[in-house]
Chains A and B, each alone.
Chain A
Amino acid sequence: MSAQFMQYLLTGLTVGAIYALVALGFSIIFNASHVINFAQGEFVMIGGMATVSLTAAGLPYLLAIPLAIAAAALIGLALEKFAVEPARGASVVTLIIITIGASIFLRGLAMVVWDKRFHAAKPFTGDTPIAIAGATILPQSLWVLGVTLAIVLALSWFFGRTLLGKAMLATSHNRLAAQLVGINVRLVLFLSFGLSAALGAVAGILIAPITTTSYDVGVMLGLKGFAAAILGGLGSGVGAVVGGLVLGIVETMSAGYLSSAYKDAIAFVIILVVLFFLPSGLFGRRGGERV
């Protein structure tokens, strides 16, 4: 295996892990409500920007990170409470515009609270590249991969073993049935937004030291995380992770071996290809419509 291939693979996995986290956020909200949360990318941005400004204000990472995640989670909860819930039962178009409006609002807010510049964040444990199989990887990348893995494991424990997690899973399979067995589906939706926002924030915090952050990093990351979710199958946790990693690797390989100019277009070509030929994605539920 050539060193170059290894390099692309490692970079692809790193960026893919970020996409996976964002995709998980999409899937969790979609499962609870069939709403596509266009503001998902902004939580990534908030995580990164908040951490950067908190550390700049003197807080150590150990304090800044939980605070940033909490802030993002609170904003996610607020988004659900004030923008999504009042529009319950609205049409798909309406809900899409609401979440897009929310994303524009949050970006505007970020611009005001912070600024429009790019900000560098300090890596967690230094920036001396580590050599692996002829390629190099930043320590921060190892953090990205490690934390993502830990989160995926934690989430599968949460959804598989805890009562709350199982309730959320049940709601995603059949909302009415979940209500009938006494699950508070509104609470499930509420918490889904908080959880997804936290996931997005973690992604933003992890990646900020590698790619710098600014008030509008959320747009592209959100859209690409979304492409990953579609590739894996909207609503599938496994799909989100696999989709994210595949997208990251394909993107990096294409940029390396083919053309780097269209690197960003890959995600959108994937969206179209998946939706044309396999709309339910790799792991999504294949359903029919009953008349």
Chain B
Amino acid sequence: MSLLRVEALSKKFGGVNAVEDLSFEIRPGAVYSIIGPNGAGKTTLLNLLTGVYQPSSGKIVFDGHDLTGRAPYEYASHGIARTFQNLQVFFNMSALENVMVGRYLKERCGLLSALLRAPRLARAERACREEAAELMRYVGLQDYLSTASDAMPYGALKRLEIARALATEPKLMLLDEPAAGLNPTEALELDDLIGRLTGRGVTVVLVEHNMRLVMGVSDHILVLDYGRKLAEGPALAVRSDPKVIEAYLGSDAAHDGSFAPEIASAVAAAVAMHR
């Protein structure tokens, strides 16, 4: 039973096929990673999976619902949340308010009760504030509960986006290069956070370049190259796929028959770290 099923998905920009005839499935409860060289179409794919881009052709079925062609807010209301490679933090509000915005879908308030300040609203606001604070503590931002978002360091902002995405109570969370710009310590904390997310019942999909992280957390990997699926399967199988090695490192490494040194050491380190 798949949580997300993508069928023959394509996206063209003028003459460029950013994503071409892509089909794959995501099962609930696992951690998936989408990897591929720059320009392979990873972020385009994420944008398609959240309604930010409309596909040129193909189908996106989430949790049994056909969401193809719907608006982003509909994807969100069905339970897909995401973070961004280029931060889309709301810098005109505090960190806490950023996470509170994430609760928007869960606290529907009518226009009239907003304008007239119904007492019910004040209670709901307090609850919302509490929930947001709790989420910030969950992702490790307890030091920033009263901080303005534009006063936070980069690593904290990335976690803030995760907290905001979590606030929507998603079934599926798409993280776009969450480790970009993080130092090794922060990357380790991220690794830990992703593990806890899965424990919370959220299926996580990661778009990442950081191979150590990818190998460390992923159950399955999808490899993209030039918008097409290059390989897909369990993490350990994919990393030894010669097509994958060739796309990343060039044909010599593939024909060598052995792992490229970089991948080998990364895998070894990840394996050692994980067990």
Contact = CB atoms under 8 A, between A and B. Distances in A.
Contacts of A291: 43, 47, 52, 84, 86, 88
B115 to A, nearest CB: 25
B266 to A, nearest CB: 29
Contacts of A288: 13
Interface string A213-229: 00000000000000000
Interface residues of A, number: 2
Interface string B38-82: 000001000100001000000000000000000000000000000
Nearest to B43: A291
A291 B72 CA distance: 13
Nearest to A288: B13
Interface in B1-56: 13, 43, 47, 52
B251 to A, nearest CB: 32
Contacts of B13: 288
Interface of B: 13, 43, 47, 52, 84, 86, 88
**Binding site of A, secondary structure by majority: helix, strand, loop or mixed?**
loop
Nearest to B85: A291
A291 B87 CA distance: 10
A291 B43 CA distance: 9
Interface in A268-288: 288
Nearest to B13: A288
A288 B14 CA distance: 10
Nearest to A286: B14
Contacts of B88: 291
7 contacts: A288-B13, A291-B43, A291-B47, A291-B52, A291-B84, A291-B86, A291-B88
Nearest to B176: A291
A288 B88 CA distance: 18
A286 to B, nearest CB: 9
A94 to B, nearest CB: 16
A291 B82 CA distance: 13
Nearest to B50: A291
A288 B47 CA distance: 13
A289 to B, nearest CB: 10
Contacts of B84: 291
Closest 7 CB pairs of A and B: A291-B52, A291-B47, A288-B13, A291-B84, A291-B86, A291-B43, A291-B88
A288 B43 CA distance: 15
Contacts of B47: 291
A194 to B, nearest CB: 35
B47 to A, nearest CB: 6
A29 to B, nearest CB: 27
Interface in A235-271: none
A291 B45 CA distance: 12
A25 B52 CA distance: 36
B52 to A, nearest CB: 6
A288 B13 CA distance: 9
B197 to A, nearest CB: 23
B39 to A, nearest CB: 13
A291 B49 CA distance: 14
Contacts of B43: 291
A247 to B, nearest CB: 30
A214 B47 CA distance: 54
A36 B84 CA distance: 32
A291 B46 CA distance: 11
Interface string A192-226: 00000000000000000000000000000000000
Nearest to A289: B52
A290 to B, nearest CB: 9
B21 to A, nearest CB: 21
A124 to B, nearest CB: 48
A62 to B, nearest CB: 51
B42 to A, nearest CB: 13
A105 to B, nearest CB: 32
A288 B53 CA distance: 10
B91 to A, nearest CB: 14
A200 to B, nearest CB: 35
A87 B43 CA distance: 34
B50 to A, nearest CB: 10
A107 to B, nearest CB: 36
B12 to A, nearest CB: 11
B102 to A, nearest CB: 18
A204 to B, nearest CB: 41
A288 B84 CA distance: 18
Interface in A153-168: none
B191 to A, nearest CB: 26
B175 to A, nearest CB: 15
B105 to A, nearest CB: 21
B120 to A, nearest CB: 36
A291 B47 CA distance: 8
Contacts of B52: 291
B226 to A, nearest CB: 18
Interface in A3-40: none
A83 B201 CA distance: 56
A288 B52 CA distance: 12
